[in-house]
Amino acid sequence: MTDLLRQIEEEHMKPDVPEFQPGDTVRVGVRITEGSGDDRRVRVQPFEGVVIARDGGGMNETFTVRRVTHGVGVERTFPLHSPTVDDIEVIRHGDPRRAKLYYLRRRIGRGARVRERVQRRETAPTAAEAEAEDTEDQAEE
């Protein structure tokens, strides 16, 4: 029975969800329906902020995004695989030391910032490889 449920869930899950974690700044495109009947219009409204939590798993996975607008903190919790979530774009990668960043609620201004993650090179070229590249460059000239 659980295999059948898992199979049905996998059919409805979004395949193009980017990798992000708490501390990352994301822009979430939210589908909003305005009007009713024939006058109905659907538009995408961006909501940009810091991911402070991820919960659940599979179809039930949610993430909470926090931003401060005009001095007022606004948090929204989105189901990851919801049809109302149009797209998720990672703006910047943070480097927090916690899985849940609820402490940001108590902080204001610069204290509410999350340090940015440093991107490391996969492998540095060894001295032999660097020398081989130099000899290739000289041979071409």
Contact predicate 49/66, CB 8 Å: yes
Residue 41: strand pairing partners: 34
Residue 129 lies in a domain: no
* pTM of the complete model beyond 0.85: no
Residue 24 lies in a domain: yes
As a whole number, mean pLDDT of residues 16-44 equals 92
Count of domains for the chain: 1
Residue 138 lies in a domain: no
Residue 116: how many CB atoms within 10 A of its CB?
13
62-95, pLDDT tens digit by residue?
999 999 999 899 999 999 999 999 999 999 999 9
Residue 41 lies in a domain: yes
Residue 127 lies in a domain: no
On the question of pLDDT at 134 being above 70, the answer is no
Residues of the domain holding 47: 2-120
As a whole number, mean pLDDT of residues 36-57 equals 92
Q: Is 109 helix (H, G, I), strand (E, B) or coil?
A: helix
CATH code of the domain in which 40 resides: 2.30.30.790
Residues 6+ apart with CB under 8 A from 101: 22, 23, 50, 51, 52, 53, 66, 114
Q: Is 8 helix (H, G, I), strand (E, B) or coil?
A: helix
Residue 90 lies in a domain: yes
The C-alpha atoms of residue 17 and residue 61 are separated, in whole angstroms, by 12
